[in-house]
């Protein structure tokens, strides 16, 4: 029994049911039933057309359910008139699912959960484990999300005219990409690797929609993922970019990312994921940290700042300026950013990691006292354990050096 | 999508607005208070935001390692510590704002006279594993 095959077929089977007019939640239940049936029947009697088989069984389940529901008699007559299921092109149906799962009426965590479930075909238990919450909590989150998008309703008539059309709007693509990037950034825990899952789903999306930012995100994920094994030491501590073992970077993944990015950039419709991927590509391209093309990286940060105007981007730009033109220039760029009074609360008003960047630039400028103080301050504001430990060690390193 | 700890303190927090010791409440006021907390947790289970929650006894013991082969040093039980934790709830929410909103709601649990206690709760984010992107 090929579980990977089943998982890869799930979204398009679900998409076909939704497109034929099945309510999202009911369609999802029917597909789950069909998958259970497949696990039971296929080992002894493998179908010639696995997808056609799944569509047929799922559709029958859906009809049974609709029939047993007297309140839905009118719709039952409607669906009964539909032609018998046969081989169906999957393209638009899967796209529809991505759109539904990233619907603006869902909160980010619900959108992520529903995407992993409906498009990714993961079980509720797997998703709950990945997010370290009880299975019951995740089950509720997913069923609420299903109810929410069921209310949205994509009838066959409207699917092409409205929802399908809306998906072509850049704003909608952006929502889907944001959800996929959230999945990627969750990293992984337990037996589900969310980064790999996000790459798989973005690949699928790139196969059904022709959009430079989809390619940009896929390139970005591949370039980041290529360095993953070198980002942490065996004890879990953080290894900064300059100290990573470049020999262990996944060159195949880097080459693929660069190729996808170049094709996207050639279309001259720049977006923030392409710009971020360009920066990642410049890092991945450098044979040593010293040979990094910081001047070009600063230029890409300028583009990125123009596209997003996010304080985090301007903070990263200050780091790049510090490398390209020296720490004084970096500190000047940093001073232009209002992060001077990071509050101890986590309201997000202060720019995250501002103190860490300031500490690094002051150290390179030779002001070790200020640097040590800022590293300690940065450690207190760190959003995760690995970063906190790393910054605490930096502060300790400078403090011990000076006391000798 | 971040986890927050909502901490309820026995002592150490600023005084609640409706500051009457629980021992002086009417029994039905206590039942209403407990019911409120249970309903709150049940509702968060339904929204998919509940992770875990427990109540803690007011008494605790300080424990310290006292060298190889020696039993750990204990000091307590103590009742005079300024800051004891009464209970906690872990939630998994979309934003800091949502965590604060829920803590505010929990703080409005009914107390003496059926009026909200307006007690102070502590909201603390969990430190997590690093995300994929930090450099």
Q: Which residues pair with B125 in a beta bridge?
A: B4
> Which residue is closest to B50 within chain A, CA to CA?
A137
Q: Which of A149, A169, A185 is a domain's end point?
A: A149
Give the 3-state secondary structure of residue B62. strand
Across the range A353-380, mean pLDDT stands at: 94
Q: Do A347 and B96 touch (CB under 8 A)?
A: yes
pLDDT for A343 equals: 46
Same domain, residue pair A94 and A69: no
**What CATH number is associated with residue A131?**
1.10.10.10
> Which residue is closest to A196 within chain B, CA to CA?
B132
On chain A, the residues whose CB falls within 8 A of the CB of B46 are 140, 144
The rounded average pLDDT for each run of 10 residues, N- to C-terminus, in chain B (135 residues) is 89 84 85 91 93 84 80 68 79 93 92 90 86 59
Residue A15 covered by a domain? yes
> Which residue is closest to A379 within chain B, CA to CA?
B127
Under a CB-based contact definition with an 8 Å cutoff, are residues A18 and A62 in contact? no
Same domain, residue pair A18 and A61: yes
Same domain, residue pair A13 and A48: yes
Residue A322 covered by a domain? no
pLDDT for A3 equals: 78
Q: Retrieve residue B3's tokens.
A: 């986890």
- Model confidence at A121, in pLDDT bands (50, 70, 90)? confident
Question: What helix, strand, coil percent values describe chain A, rounded to 5?
Answer: 75, 0, 25
Which residues in chain B (32-91) have CB-CB distances under 8 A to chain A?
45-52
Q: Which of A125, A149, A173 is a domain's end point?
A: A149
pLDDT for B11 equals: 77
Whether B94 has its CB under 8 Å from any CB of chain A: the answer is: yes
On chain B, the residues whose CB falls within 8 A of the CB of A182 are 1
Q: Which of A149, A178, A198 is a domain's end point?
A: A149
- Model confidence at A347, in pLDDT bands (50, 70, 90)? very low
On chain B, the residues whose CB falls within 8 A of the CB of A142 are 48
Which domains are assigned to chain B? Answer: 2-125 (3.30.70.1060)
- Model confidence at A386, in pLDDT bands (50, 70, 90)? confident
pLDDT at A327 over 90: yes
pLDDT at A157 over 70: no
In this complex, which of B47, B51, B129 lies closest to A384 when CB atoms are compared? B129
How many folded domains does chain A comprise? Answer: 2
Same domain, residue pair A32 and A69: yes
On chain A, the residues whose CB falls within 8 A of the CB of B1 are 108-109, 112, 131, 182, 186
In this complex, which of A112, A348, A385 lies closest to B127 when CB atoms are compared? A385
What distance in Å separates residue A332's CA from the closest CA in chain B? 20
pLDDT at A329 over 50: yes
Can you tell me the distance from the alpha carbon of A157 to that of A387, in angstroms, rounded to the nearest whole number?
A: 51
- How many Å separate Cα A73 from the centre of its chain? 41
Q: Do B48 and A141 touch (CB under 8 A)?
A: yes
Residue A112 covered by a domain? yes
Under a CB-based contact definition with an 8 Å cutoff, are residues A164 and A92 in contact? yes
What distance in Å separates residue B40's CA from the closest CA in chain A? 14
What distance in Å separates residue B12's CA from the closest CA in chain A? 19
pLDDT for A348 equals: 43
What distance in Å separates residue A219's CA from the closest CA in chain B? 14
CA–CA distance from B96 to each of A224, A296, B2, B99 (Å)? Answer: 27, 36, 8, 5
Percentage above 90 pLDDT, chain A: 55
Give the mutation candidate from A108, A109, A343 for the B interface (greatest B CB count, under 10 A).
A109
Most confident of A77-91, A179-193, A388-402: A388-402
> Which residue is closest to B41 within chain A, CA to CA?
A137
Pure H helices in A132-193: 135-152, 156-158, 164-167, 170-185
- Model confidence at A223, in pLDDT bands (50, 70, 90)? very high
Give the mutation candidate from A107, A184, A233, A319 for the B interface (greatest B CB count, under 10 A).
A107
Same domain, residue pair A12 and A69: yes
Residue A123 covered by a domain? yes
Burial of A86 (0-12, 13-18, 19+ CB in 10 A): exposed
Can you tell me the distance from the alpha carbon of A114 to that of A149, in angstroms, rounded to the nearest whole number?
A: 10
pLDDT for A403 equals: 67
Across the range A235-243, mean pLDDT stands at: 88
Mean pLDDT of all residues in chain A? 85
Across the range A212-235, mean pLDDT stands at: 94
What distance in Å separates residue A134's CA from the closest CA in chain B? 6
- Residue span of the structural domain in which A127 resides: 90-149
Interface size, chain A vs chain B, as Cβ–Cβ contacts under 8 Å? 88
Across the range A20-39, mean pLDDT stands at: 89
Q: What pTM was estimated for this model as a whole?
A: 0.82
Same domain, residue pair A61 and A98: no
Under a CB-based contact definition with an 8 Å cutoff, are residues B3 and B92 in contact? yes
Tally of CA atoms within 13 A in the half-sphere of A130 that contains its CB: 28
Same domain, residue pair A62 and A100: no
Cis peptide before B77 (omega within 30 of 0): yes
Least confident of A107-116, A181-190, A243-252, B85-94: A181-190
pLDDT at A5 over 60: yes
Provide the 10 A C-beta neighbour count for residue A56.
Answer: 17
Q: Do B133 and A383 touch (CB under 8 A)?
A: no
CA–CA distance from A61 to each of A22, A64, A189, A215 (Å)? Answer: 11, 5, 34, 37
For the question of an ipTM over 0.90, the answer is: no
């Amino acid at each position: 029994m090929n579980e990977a095959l089943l998982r890869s077929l799930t979204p398009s089977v679900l998409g076909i049911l939704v497109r034929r007019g099945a309510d999202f939640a009911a369609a999802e239940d029917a597909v789950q039933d069909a998958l259970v049936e497949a696990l039971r029947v296929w080992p002894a009697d493998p179908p010639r057309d696995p997808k056609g088989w799944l569509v047929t069984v799922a559709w029958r389940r859906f009809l049974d359910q609709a029939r047993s529901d007297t309140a839905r008699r009118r719709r039952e007559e409607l669906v009964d008139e539909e032609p018998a299921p046969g081989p169906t092109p999957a393209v638009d149906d899967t796209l529809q699912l991505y759109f539904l799962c990233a619907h603006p009426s869902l909160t980010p965590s619900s959108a992520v959960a529903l995407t992993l479930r409906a498009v990714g075909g993961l079980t509720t238990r797997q998703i709950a484990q990945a997010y370290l919450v009880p299975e019951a909590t995740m089950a509720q989150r997913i069923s609420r999300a299903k109810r929410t998008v069921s209310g949205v309703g994509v009838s066959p008539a409207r699917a092409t005219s409205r929802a399908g059309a809306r998906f072509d709007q850049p704003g909608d693509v952006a929502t889907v990409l944001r959800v996929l990037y959230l999945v990627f950034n969750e990293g992984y825990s337990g037996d589900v690797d969310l980064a790999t899952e996000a790459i798989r789903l973005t690949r699928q999306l790139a196969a059904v929609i022709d959009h430079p930012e989809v390619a940009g995100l896929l390139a970005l994920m591949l370039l980041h993922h290529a360095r993953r094994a070198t980002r942490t030491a065996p004890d879990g501590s953080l290894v900064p970019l300059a100290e990573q073992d470049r020999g262990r970077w996944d060159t195949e993944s880097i080459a693929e990312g660069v190729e996808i990015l170049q094709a996207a950039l050639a279309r001259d419709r720049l977006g923030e994921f392409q710009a971020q991927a360009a920066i990642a590509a410049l890092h991945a391209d450098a044979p040593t940290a010293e040979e990094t093309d910081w001047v070009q990286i600063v230029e890409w940060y300028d583009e990125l700042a123009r596209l997003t105007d996010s304080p985090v981007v301007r903070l990263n730009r200050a780091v790049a300026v510090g490398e390209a033109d020296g720490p004084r220039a970096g500190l000047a760029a940093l001073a232009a950013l209002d992060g001077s009074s990071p509050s101890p609360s986590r309201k997000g008003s202060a720019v995250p990691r501002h103190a860490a960047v300031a500490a690094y630039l002051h150290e390179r400028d030779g002001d070790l006292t200020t640097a040590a103080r800022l590293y300690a301050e940065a450690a207190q504001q760190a959003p995760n354990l690995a970063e906190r430990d790393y910054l605490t060690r930096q502060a300790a390193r400078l403090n011990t050096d000076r006391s000798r | 999508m971040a986890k927050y700890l909502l901490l309820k303190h026995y002592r150490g927090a600023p005084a609640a607005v409706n500051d009457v010791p629980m021992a002086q409440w009417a029994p039905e006021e206590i039942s209403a208070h407990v019911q409120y907390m249970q309903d709150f947790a049940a509702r968060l289970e339904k929204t998919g935001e509940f992770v875990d929650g427990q109540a803690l006894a007011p008494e605790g013991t300080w424990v310290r390692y006292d060298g190889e082969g020696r039993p750990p040093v204990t000091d307590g039980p103590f009742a005079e510590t300024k800051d004891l934790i009464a209970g906690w709830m872990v939630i998994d929410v979309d934003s800091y704002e949502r965590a604060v909103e829920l803590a505010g709601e929990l703080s409005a649990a009914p107390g003496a006279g059926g009026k909200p206690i307006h007690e102070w709760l502590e909201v603390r984010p969990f430190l997590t594993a690093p995300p994929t992107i930090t450099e």
